[in-house]
Structure 1
Amino acid sequence: MAENRIILSTTVNEIRVALVENGELREFFVERADIERMVGNIYKGRVVSIHSGLQAAFVNICAEKAAFLPLSRVQEEIDFDEEEEFSSASERLPIESGNEILVQVIKDPLGNKGPRVTTDISIPGKFLVLTPMRNKVAVSRKISDRKERERLKKIVRKNKPKDKGFIIRTAAEGKETDDFKTDIKNLLRLWSRIKKRALKKEKKNVPALIHKDAELIIRLMRDLFTEKIDEVIVDSKDSYKKVHGYVSLLTPLMVNKVKLYRGNPPIFKTYKIQDEIDKILNRRVKLKSGGHIIIESTEALAAIDVNSGKSSADTVPEELAITTNLEAAEEIAKQLRLRDLGGIIVVDFIDMEKEVSKNKVLSIFKKAMRNDRARYKVFEISNLGLMEMTRKRVSPGVSQTFFNICPACGGKGKVLSQTHLSLKIIRGLESNVKNLKDRNLTIYGNPAFIDYFTEEFSETLTYFSRKYRISIHLVKDNEVAVDALTIFDNEKLKDITKTILG
């Protein structure tokens, strides 16, 4: 029975893809018509400003906000070994305001930030990545065998143009010369088309999209469909044709693994994937030992808290701590891939006194992370039980795809308490009482708050109104957030919310 599958489900305006390894959901991808993906796209843009303090330029590429282009090479942890140090394309190019430059998006816009771009173009193929701005050969660090690395480098060097660079992907392990020749030919042909399109774009037509990265189905067949996959199951005839055509062209010996699903129940229900998808939308993940982890994502970082769930005491016995932490380490590695969490990630393990316990947990975590395709770096567990790491997202991630910022709390996850808001009204009225005598005011609030305020503070409000001769009317308004108010002066026909509440 097949244990490693790629399952593809197509519905109106949405494509969902699940990667199943050893019978378990490991990665999940969604592409929707209403979510524009820019990563991988190549634009001919115009530099609008240069900031020497940031060592960066801002480039107009027709996005809502100008793209951010670093001008100095940041030493990042990368997934491949370079033969020698060399400058990035942005260091070599003299960039000035008004320049027209070719850039590629490496990070989608997020929140108030525009897309991040680079002049160091890279075009992925099945086994290689073409880096036309470089003239070096690099190999994925996940290919660990030294002899194999050297064999692959030798093949690529022999068949590549002298002025072009290539990165040998993990999927290239064990491949022969003909596989690379096909990939090199296809990638060079694509790069030639991109250059021609860029040259044809006149000044009046810049900024402009020059090359759009492949759609989700093709990207995942390119990146995920290896010999380790037993079958690819597709529930749409149109998607099946695309997958079948792509695989027939690049890896024809694997085309028999592509199958069309003809069942009546939804494909994700048949393969018991939907329940697993629903679980990744929860912040709390249960552990078999009785403990649990809590995952909280913010704009700055993702925080993961490990709890034993079996002890209410301030300290947890070392044996229970390490048992829970070991299980949590494997589950966290799984959740990072499933949710595609990125950026800075801090894991708060249960405190362990022994150094050997910390090392064991760290070792298990690193082992569990080996199959993660994303670029990541893991640091030691501190004396406080904190493990810090960085991880680069592969996709927009669960948070961006499935959730909108709450209109009530603005993404904080909390709103002002009804008591605090009530007292804030009273204090605001008292501090402005001289200007409010003999006035007629209306307070508009969320129905839940108005009910609470009427019940808990009616006597205070009546006393206040009589003492200072202020007429106050309370009006329920479903359009008002649960922790917000609008206070209106009916005589001056003026909104005085800011005056009263500050």
Structure 2
Amino acid sequence: MKTRYVITHLQGRCVCALFYDNVCRELKVAEPENMTGRIYIGRVENVVKNLNCAFIEIEKGIKCYYSLEENKKHFFLNPKNTEKVCIGDSMLVQISREAFKTKPATATGKLSLTGEYVVLVSDGTGVSVSGKVKKHPHCLELKEKLEETFYKGKPLPAFGFILRTNTAEADSAPVLAEAKKLAEQFQEITGQAKYLKAFTKMYEPLPPVVEWLKNLRISDLDEIVTDDREIYELAGQYAAEAVKEKLRLYEDELLPLYKLYSLETILSRTLNKKVWLKSGGYLVIEQTEALTAVDVNSGKMVKKKDSFLKTNLEAAEELVRQIGLRNLSGMIIVDFINLKEKAEEEQLVSALKKYIQQENTGIVYVDMTRLGLVELTRKKNGKTLRELFADGRKEEV
């Protein structure tokens, strides 16, 4: 199976597409202005006791929601004789979630700096290991080395480390070097913040595309191709050697990269609520505030024996792909074509679970109701594709 990661620009946004045998399985779109991860010196504008939260201004006119329930430890920069958050306090905060519709951005006092192998966190001490590799011998060895470097026989620093999954295949030297670099960066941010005024931006994370490259499972990829020289150079500067080895700069001016891979067509079809199947059936995907409803229709399907089951099986596979492409989340209710036999229903559910496991995009199968509706759920991971491209485009029919 040929796998390729394509990075280009489309409609003014950076788009990353993952192809398996020329079929697009994943679309990631960088928002034009993404504040997530930035660290600011903010000023408390209001404390709302009945909501147990505060509103912190990080730039002139930009206020963020700050949960007092989730943030027990606060990063005050002004002299205090109480641990309570008060109006006028100067605090160091990090943006954890973008503003969405009428909701303001969310800020947190739990600061974090993410590296290729290590995450530095301000709300922990010591070294922990990602759950996927917590028993890996090499990771446990690295954990001991980090503890010896930062904690044993020394004053306890105001931060902790999390070893990421890819440390299982990394040499010790770059992991330790990165941890030291992050520690120095954190101490520089917190040290300088004491002498600077409110609304100062103390930290700007790398562009999302660089973070995406860091999190790629390189062993599964044959090639990474981009037509953006700036991204190519950034990847060369920050990405791992394994990424650099598979990275190629596309320079054909006659045929743009997005046209070579038909990304305009893929995007247009993915934004359309109707998805046609090879059998002649189709899906209708309706996104609402409360949930996403999916209806499977027979359409132009030629009705033969087992044709409803075959269309449902095809729809199940395409549905799982569409959930990932569209970045759908929350409750997803699916109305498949009614099947008369119980054995056919069981076959459909079994196939759906298999496709969910293969796609590995965080979809959870919940149940099939007495009315034959399939319930799925998926944790929210940023805006949906429709929200990112909400430009009033016409639906295809």
1:387 positional shift: 0.6
CA distance in 1, matches of 2:167, 2:138: 11
CA distance in 2, matches of 1:44, 1:325: 53
**Which residue is 1:211 aligned to?**
203
SS of aligned partner of 2:6: strand
1:99 positional shift: 2.3
1:67 positional shift: 1.4
1:237 aligned to which of 229, 234, 237: 229
Distance 1:325 1:59, change over 3 A: farther
Give the residue type in structure 2 aligned to 1:47: V
**Which residue is 1:403 aligned to?**
390
Within-5 A mapping of 1:55-70: 55-62=52-59, 66-70=63-67
Give the residue type in structure 2 aligned to 1:230: D
- Give the TM-score taking structure 1 as reference length: 0.65
Matched, 1:112 2:102: yes
**Which residue is 1:80 aligned to?**
none
Give the residue type in structure 1 aligned to 2:52: Q
1:246 aligned to which of 238, 242, 252: 238
Contact 1:171–1:226, Cα closer than 8 Å, also in 2:
no
1:334 positional shift: 1.6
Instruction: Report Cα offsets for 1:423-455 as digits up to 9, x if no partner.
Output: xxxxxxxxxxxxxxxxxxxxxxxxxxxxxxxxx
SS of aligned partner of 2:87: coil
Distance 1:176 1:297, change over 3 A: same
1:69 positional shift: 2.0
Matched, 1:125 2:112: no
Distance 1:343 1:65, change over 3 A: farther
**Which residue is 2:379 aligned to?**
391
CA distance in 2, matches of 1:51, 1:347: 40
Give the residue type in structure 1 aligned to 2:187: S
Matched, 1:37 2:25: no
SS of aligned partner of 2:175: helix
**Which residue is 1:482 aligned to?**
none
With CA pairs under 8 Å and 6+ residues apart, which has the higher RCO, 1 or 2? 2
2:139 aligned to which of 152, 172, 175: 152
**Which residue is 2:169 aligned to?**
174
**Which residue is 1:380 aligned to?**
367
SS of aligned partner of 1:97: coil
Contact 2:119–2:163, Cα closer than 8 Å, also in 1:
yes
CA distance in 2, matches of 1:279, 1:101: 45
Contact 1:48–1:98, Cα closer than 8 Å, also in 2:
yes
Distance 1:178 1:220, change over 3 A: same
**Which residue is 1:419 aligned to?**
none
CA distance in 2, matches of 1:88, 1:229: 42
Contact 1:42–1:212, Cα closer than 8 Å, also in 2:
yes
1:389 positional shift: 0.9
SS of aligned partner of 2:215: helix
Contact 2:4–2:224, Cα closer than 8 Å, also in 1:
yes
CA distance in 2, matches of 1:154, 1:246: 25
**Which residue is 2:185 aligned to?**
190
SS of aligned partner of 2:184: helix
**Which residue is 1:101 aligned to?**
91
Within-5 A mapping of 1:83-482: 89=73, 94-135=84-125, 137-141=127-131, 143=132, 147-148=135-136, 151-160=138-147, 161-162=150-151, 163=157, 164-202=159-197, 206-224=198-216, 226-247=218-239, 251-252=240-241, 254-263=243-252, 264-309=254-299, 322-351=309-338, 354=342, 356-357=346-347, 359-370=349-360, 372=361, 377-384=364-371, 385-394=373-382, 396-404=383-391
Distance 1:345 1:102, change over 3 A: farther
SS of aligned partner of 1:18: strand
1:265 positional shift: 0.4
Q: CA RMSD in A?
A: 3.5
1:201 positional shift: 1.8
- Give the TM-score taking structure 2 as reference length: 0.80
1:16 positional shift: 2.8
Distance 1:320 1:228, change over 3 A: same
Distance 1:174 1:327, change over 3 A: farther
1:11 positional shift: 7.4
**Which residue is 2:49 aligned to?**
52
Instruction: Report Cα offsets for 1:79-125 as digits up to 9, x if no partner.
Output: xxxxxxxx864699633333222222222111111112222222221
Contact 1:326–1:364, Cα closer than 8 Å, also in 2:
no
Which has the higher Rg, Structure 1 or Structure 2? Answer: 1
Instruction: Report Cα offsets for 1:345-366 as digits up to 9, x if no partner.
Output: 3333445673734641552243
Contact 1:26–1:338, Cα closer than 8 Å, also in 2:
yes
CA distance in 2, matches of 1:304, 1:224: 30
1:335 positional shift: 1.7
Distance 1:66 1:218, change over 3 A: same
Residue segments in structure 1 that go unaligned for 5+ positions in a row? 74-86, 414-502
Give the residue type in structure 1 aligned to 2:247: V
CA distance in 2, matches of 1:140, 1:23: 33
SS of aligned partner of 1:16: strand
**Which residue is 2:22 aligned to?**
23
Contact 2:213–2:243, Cα closer than 8 Å, also in 1:
no
Distance 1:256 1:343, change over 3 A: same
CA distance in 2, matches of 1:100, 1:213: 22
The total of aligned residue pairs comes to 376
**Which residue is 2:154 aligned to?**
none
CA distance in 1, matches of 2:312, 2:178: 44
**Which residue is 1:498 aligned to?**
none
Contact 2:8–2:257, Cα closer than 8 Å, also in 1:
yes
